[in-house]
Each structure stands twice: as C-alpha cells, then as structure tokens.
Amino acid sequence: MSKSLVIVESPAKAKTINRYLGPDYKVEPSMGHVRDLPKSKLGVDIENDFAPKYIIISDRRKLVTALKKAAEKVSLIYLAADPDREGEAICWHLREIFKDGQAEIRRVLLPEITKKAVEEAFQHSVDLDENKVKAQQTRRILDRLVGYLISPLLWKKIGKGLSAGRVQSVALKLVCDRERLIRAFVPEEYWTIAAQLRAANPPEFKAGLVKLEGKKIKLENGTQAGEALERLKQTPFILEEIKVRKKKKEPPPPYITSSLQQDGFRLLRFPVRKTMSVAQRLYEGLELGERGLVGLITYMRTDSFRVADEALAWVRSYIGANFGPDHLPAKPRFFATKKKVQDAHEAVRPTSAELSPLAVKPYLKKEEYSLYKLIWDRFLASQMSPALVEETEFDIRSGPYQFSSKGEVLIHDGFLALYPGQKKEGAVLPQAERGETLTLLNLEHSQNFTQPPGRYTEGTLVKDLEAKGIGRPSTYAPIISTLQNRVYVIKEEGKFVPTDLGLFVVDFLVLHFADLMEYKFTARMEEELDRISIGEVDGLTALKRYYAHLEQDLIKAGETEGVTRSGIPVEEKCPLCGKQIVIKSGKFGRFKACSGYPECQHKESLRKNESRPLEEICPDCGSNLVQRRGRFGFFIACSNYPACKYIKKDRVDTGIACPAACGGTILRRRTRRGRFFYGCSLYPQCKFATWDEPQKKACPQCGRPFLLLKQPKNKPGLLHCSDEACSYKEVVPLPAKPEGDAQAEGAPEQEPEPNATPESE
C-alpha cells in the first residue's frame, strides 16, 4: 500500500497531474459526477427535510467498481476535482463511496495545473468544505423540485415534452420580455443637421446641431429641419469656445468567467459552451513540446478579480522588459470585486511569463490559441498604464443655434499597445482661435428613426443574466442550450428570438408562479446559496422557504384549465381562412396549424427554417413538397401533412459540400436494404460515403465545415470530425427525462455492422 490514489474529473487533467506527481501516485479520472438523483423519480424526500436519495449513475457503475478496488490498495486518497462547489460535491460523493474503506481521504485544491502549484497543493491538502457541499446540494434539490414538479404540470396543461427550470425559465422570461419590448416599440421620427466648416487653418471638419436657444434641440419632422436649414444659411458660424482636456482611458480588469464568455462571443464569435470547453482544456493542460503537459491558465470559473502576489510580480517584470517603464504603473493595480463574491479563486490569467502566446502558438489548435491570447492580453493590459488622450471640443454658435464638434489625439498608448485596433483617433480639429468666424461649406440634413432594443446574442444574454444575478456563469452554457433544444427560442442571424411556444410557456409560468419567475426573487436565491457556502445561512431553512412558495403555486395552477386538446393559441391568424393559429404536437414534433382543422389544413414549422418548400409536387394530392428535419435527419414530405402522409423515399440533399472537393454535395440516400446513408451527389465519379449524419457545424479543431454524428440506439451520440486525420470527438448525451416524461416516438435506426459499407449494401 505504498501508492496514493488521486481522483480528478477528466482523463486530460489526470494525464497532466500524473506527470508532475511521479510513480508514488496513481491518478484516475471519475469522468465528472459518479452519483446523482435518479432520473425516473423525484428523488427528494420532502417530508423528511428534503433528504436526497442519490444513486450511482448507470454508466458510471463499472468505473465506480474500479475506483473502489483501486482505493482498497492504498492508505491515502486525494480528491482533486475542480476547486468550486460542483467539484466539492463530486469529491463528497466519492468520499461517501469510499467511507467504508481504511484509506484516509484528503481534498486537494488546484487553482492552476503547473508543477509548482500541484506540488504545493499536495503539501497542503485540506478537509472537504462541508458548507460548499451543502450549497451545491441545496441548489441541486431546488432545481429538482422545480423541474420535476412544475414540468409535469406543463405536460398536463399544455403538452408533453415541455420543461421548466428554476433558472432556465427566468432566463427565457428575459428573452421574451425583450421580444415584447421590440414588438411594442413605436419608432419616432427625428432629423439631424450637420455643418461642414473651415477655419483659417486646415483641416475642414464637421459639427452637429445640438441646441436651440440653450436647450437640447429635437427636430421631429422634415418641415422643422427645413426651416432650421433656411435660417442657418443666413447666419454666420462663430467659434464661441474651445475646450481642451486630457483624459485617461483606464485598462480593464482581468477576466472573470462571465466577461470571458462575453468577449469570447463578441471578439471570437465563440458560443458560451465553446468558450468554456476551450478554457477547460487550457486549464487542464496541453502538450507543449519539450515542456510536456502544462496548464496554461488558472481555474476558469471565478467571480473574483484577485491576482496572486507572485503573478503580479512576474507580469510587472514582463511589462517593464517588453513595453518599457512608461507602460508600467508605479504600483500594481487592484480591482474591486463585488461584495457578494466569495473571492475563493483568482481571476482567469496565464500561469507563467514563459508561456507567451508566441511561445505556445506552434502547439495549440486555432481556437485554443485565440482564446489564450485573449486571456494573455487582458491580463497584461490590466497591469499596464492607462492610455492618455487629448480631447478638443469646439462650441459653435450660429444665431440661436449651437453646434458641437469633438476631436481626439492619442498622447500615450499605455495598455492600448496590446490592442492596435483600438488606437484609432477621433476627428482631428484645426488650430483655431476663440471668436473666429468659420466658413460654411455645406449643410447636411437626414431623416432618422429611433430604434427598438436589440435582441439578445449569447454575449449580451450572459451580460444581462450576470447583471440581474440570475444563475451563475458556470450554468449559462447549459441554460442557453436547453432553451434552444426545447424550441423555446431560435437563433436568427445570431440573435435569440422566442418562439410562440416559448412566449406561451413564459406567460403560463408568470401567471401561476409569479414570485418564482421574478428576477429579484431568483437573484436573492442565488445570494442565499452563496451565503450557505460560507456558513451564514442554513440550507434546510432556504429549502423550506422556497418550497412554501412552490407548493402554494402548484395547488392553484393545478386548478386551471389546460389547452392540450385545442392546441396552444398564438397571436396569429391563419393566412388561408383567418381563424386562430395554434401549436399542436405531431409525429415529427410540434408545429403550428389552423384551429379550423380539418376544414382548413394550413400548417407550418415552429422553426422558420425547418420546412423548406420545394418546386416538386406531391404525387398523391398535388400539394407542394417540403424538406423537413426529423429524428433521423432531413426528409422530403408533403406540405399537406397530416391529411396527406406521402414521404419521398429516395435522396435528400443536405446542402453540405462533399469533403472530397469534387464539386458535389452530400445526399441522404437509402441502401437496397432500406438503411439510410450519406454519399456524394456525383457518385459513381466520387465515392465518398458514410453511415453517420453530417452536421452543419465546423470542427473546432481543424475547421472542416461539418461534423458527423454517430447515434446508436438509446445511447449517447458521438460527434466526430469527418477528416480521419483529425482526432476531434464530442459526446452528445441523451436528454434527461423527468418522471412521467413520454419516451420519444420510435428509436434511432439500428447501426450497421462495423464492416458494412453503404456501397456493399
């Protein structure tokens, strides 16, 4: 029993840590959680102080057996899951599994995965933080109560397959509230006037009309603008005042989780889930040539701007050596952290001055390098001197009208040395004197209209969720995915638009669970969870208080009339007969249809791009055919479904270019035995073929424009790159189904034998 057992979450993390610890330690991955509440029932004993009933996750049973056998051979077990509440909970569940053994169990916290950090962490192992465990369990139980008690009510009153979530539903409300503001918005007309002017010295410049007789001007129509133009043509333009002031542009703080997610989307167009996935790899460790496996960044789930003294020392030394003393402040910068943040972890930063983006670029994939450079630059910028600009403002009078023009000159770039694209200077104003009469060269006027608030992108949704205290950054990615998977929202041009189904579900929840759907109520619950994690609040007290609201609302909501028979009404009229449009459920999922069915058979998809009308005519009824997406990919069927159930049995074009670069596209076809496969449209000249369904999603490793989905029966799917030389793989889990949820109709078609090929069939 000489070796010690170390358990982490992932194989990648295990590989990195094992390199640093040496032969006296055996490092094994738990693959995340090994126990959870059962999927088939509530799993919470409400009458017994909300006691959770945990079970070993089915696909972790063999792994748990192996870990228990490994634990029997050692005298010391180190639990080294991620240093947050979820990681603490993973460690607690592992401790419960090992508690009957003889080994001592210790907790190891790894804020970064470098040789020095790992060695120090193992020298200073600690006990599990019971308060963090209680906070995570309280959150898990709260989420289970909402999901498993409200969701069945939605199935009963609205339709099967719907779901509610403590944070998910409030996030949906945010998107729906924004959409209603947009729909209710009435644009207002306004006009602007600009003068092109010249002083005694060049250059020429523009000034905008801002005031009339000392008050802010608002030109509401073209008549008012025209009258102003005529008067301005008759009066001289006098430079009344020149204001010159120096301004500092302070650098931003280092990244925390939410700001990294926002900039990942804004600057790199990474979805939140991708940003967190790439950051996880950077934290767990990547192969850097002779350096071996190295963790490049500190732990990426944090709300704190705190930076370790050692990191401040090396970053200041690096700035001084590479940018010069004029770019280095006299003292380190410290950024204020929100009061409710626990400050348990540092900000997201690089782990070493030796790991510059240029030094590691040859070893990183494109997305890894892009995100790492973002983190590196932000950390350096946070400790650099401010940029200094000189701003000049001209106040210009023309009779009762006042114009304004501003110019800006960069005096010292400071932290902007890292961001050349942000060093663009403003308009340059000429050298002029107060009281000077300016020459009017031209007057421009334009009609404008006020704009509604913009729809949410992933970045702006994260920003608002954080600002309102809804959820935590670590939960944003699964929230966004769930809203899309349930077709509560869709993306149009990268922005979230709630579907009629999403709007209806939110209205139902707000009507019957008004307090639980309140932004402030949800934020207070998050604050309570934070306070539970530091021992200030009792978890059971919080659960009882929340459940009292939930139970009362459930009773009242259960007495209301449902809409499952008639369909979910939406704010649309049938384009054929003018009757109410409703949302119904069918063999291929939910769709919109006329409430006058069967007299009127109009129907359409909830997703605007899901049904694509074709020029082909249905041979059975004469209606147009449409291309739809079903459980097994795209297919062509009659637009008159369900009255006409014709389905075209031969090929369907996926619209994805063949990877052989032959000029063809990938078609979905059937073999002689009736199995689906995907092959090139130029067959037999091009013989590309695969059993796996092409997905219009670029490979995050090599950039190939599509991935392939292997979907076995009743098992998690596997997304993998269509290029055999690329090793990218991603498990696509089966969606969890609460108690009573109907199983999906049918099942994925049986996988062909391993040696079978589409051509051979």
List, by residue number, the catalytic residues.
Answer: 299
Half-sphere exposure of 750 (CA within 13 A, CB side): 6
Alpha helices in 513-626 (DSSP H): 519-533, 539-558
Beta-strand ranges (E) seen in 139-231 are 189-198, 205-212, 215-216
CB-based contact 382:244 (threshold 8 Å)? no
d(CA 237, CA 404): 11
CA distances to 84, 501, 530, 594 from 131, rounded to whole Å, are: 12, 39, 10, 54
Query: What residues contact 571, with CB distance under 8 A and at least 6 apart?
Result: 500
CA distances to 224, 339, 489, 505, 653 from 570, rounded to whole Å, are: 42, 44, 15, 11, 33
Query: What residues contact 61, with CB distance under 8 A and at least 6 apart?
Result: none
CA distances to 258, 307, 470, 757 from 336, rounded to whole Å, are: 16, 12, 21, 61
CA-based nearest residue to 676, from 704, 647, 641:
647
Angle at 258 (CA atoms; ends 253, 263), nearest 5 degrees: 75
What b/e sequence results for 306-334 when a residue is b if at least 16 CB atoms lie within 10 Å of its CB, and e otherwise?
Answer: bbeeebbeebbebbeeebeeebbeeeebe
Rounded (to 5) percent helix, strand, coil in the chain:
35, 25, 40
Neighbours of 179 (CB within 10 A): 21
Residue type, 205: F
Q: What's the distance, Cα to Cα, between the start and end of the chain in Å?
A: 56
CA-based nearest residue to 632, from 652, 604, 657:
652
d(CA 723, CA 64): 34
Query: What residues contact 272, with CB distance under 8 A and at least 6 apart?
Result: 261, 264, 265, 458, 462, 476, 477, 480
d(CA 404, CA 238): 11
Element (H, E) at 317: helix 309-323
CA distances to 633, 679, 682 from 660, rounded to whole Å, are: 22, 11, 11
CB-based contact 13:300 (threshold 8 Å)? no
d(CA 336, CA 556): 45
- Long-range CB contact pairs, 568-571, < 8 A, 24+: 568/158, 568/159, 568/500, 568/501, 568/504, 569/504, 569/595, 570/500, 570/503, 570/504, 571/500
What b/e sequence results for 393-423 when a residue is b if at least 16 CB atoms lie within 10 Å of its CB, and e otherwise?
Answer: ebbbbbeebbbebebbebebbbbbbbeeeee
CB-based contact 317:354 (threshold 8 Å)? no
Angle at 117 (CA atoms; ends 116, 123), nearest 5 degrees: 90
Query: Which residues are bridge partners to 219 per DSSP?
Result: 191
Neighbours of 716 (CB within 10 A): 12
